[in-house]
Amino acid sequence: MDLKDLYQEIILDHGKNPRNLGKFDNYNKDAKGNNPLCGDNVHVYLRLNENKKVEDIAFEGHGCAISMASASIMTDMVRGKEEKEVKEIVTDFLGMIKEKDSLETNILKDDEKTKLMSLSGVKQYPMRVKCATLSWHTLTSALDNSDQIVKTEE
């Protein structure tokens, strides 16, 4: 285990200065997620236009550097993508965090993949995986219009 893998510069940067933090007025989908064991929470807001494209996305919440960076990078990455593409990225990301060595989707460019892979350090820290995945599960919940609050307990 190496802390440098977990706390890469990009994670520290996004953790400290999260992009897309806040809420915007004309969102049409949202969902909340929380991590009951540690008290972290996130609220994802997004606007899907008539072509099912993510026109805008933002999040509110608080949590550790990993969870804030993950939400920050995620929101950056899915803006402008179609719902179907977003779901593929989410599945690919969660698969990578859980078991796969790399990202497989063709939707993401190489530099985007590199950015996402900066979160792969959590794989060595099983207790921290939920920090990285909370916002992604919450995004899925928002897209599916689920009223259920996402919990990271499995």
Partner 1 sequence: MNINDIKREFPIFDDKIQNNDLVYLDSANSSQKPRVVVDRIYDFYTKEFSNVGRSVHYLAVAATNLYEQTRVSVQKYINAKDKDEIVFTKGATEAINLVANTFGQKYLSEGDEVLLTELEHHSNYVPWHFLRKAKNIKIEFAEINDDGEVTLEAIEKKITNKTKIISVSHLSNVTGAILPIKEIVELAHSKNIPVLIDGCQGAPHLRLDMQDIDCDFYAISGHKMYGPTGIGVLYAKKKWLEDLPPYQGGGGMINEVKKEGITYGELPNKYEAGTMATAQVIAFNESIKFMEKIGIQNIEKHEKELLDYGLEKLRKNNSVNIIGNPKEKGGVISFTIEGVHPHDIATILDEDGVAIRAGHHCCQILHDKLNLPATARASFGVYNTKDDIDKLDEAINKCKKIFNL
* In the block, residue with structure tokens 């190489």: 110
Least Å from the CB of residue 38 to partner 1: 4
Nearer to partner 1, 130 or 137 (CB): 130
Nearer to partner 1, 7 or 27 (CB): 7
Distance CA 98, CA 70 (A): 15
Distance CA 82, CA 18 (A): 23
Distances, alpha carbon 102 to alpha carbons 25, 56, 113, 128, 149, in Å: 36, 27, 9, 19, 29
Distance CA 137, CA 142 (A): 9
Phi first, then psi, for residue 21 (nearest 5°) are -85, 130
Helix 83-98 vs helix 129-143: crossing angle, to nearest 10: 160
Nearer to partner 1, 15 or 54 (CB): 15
- Where does this chain bind partner 1 (CB under 8 A)? 1, 3, 6-7, 12, 16, 37-41, 62-66, 68, 125, 127-128, 131
Least Å from the CB of residue 75 to partner 1: 19
Least Å from the CB of residue 11 to partner 1: 10
Nearer to partner 1, 10 or 107 (CB): 10
Least Å from the CB of residue 132 to partner 1: 12
Least Å from the CB of residue 19 to partner 1: 18
Nearer to partner 1, 22 or 126 (CB): 126
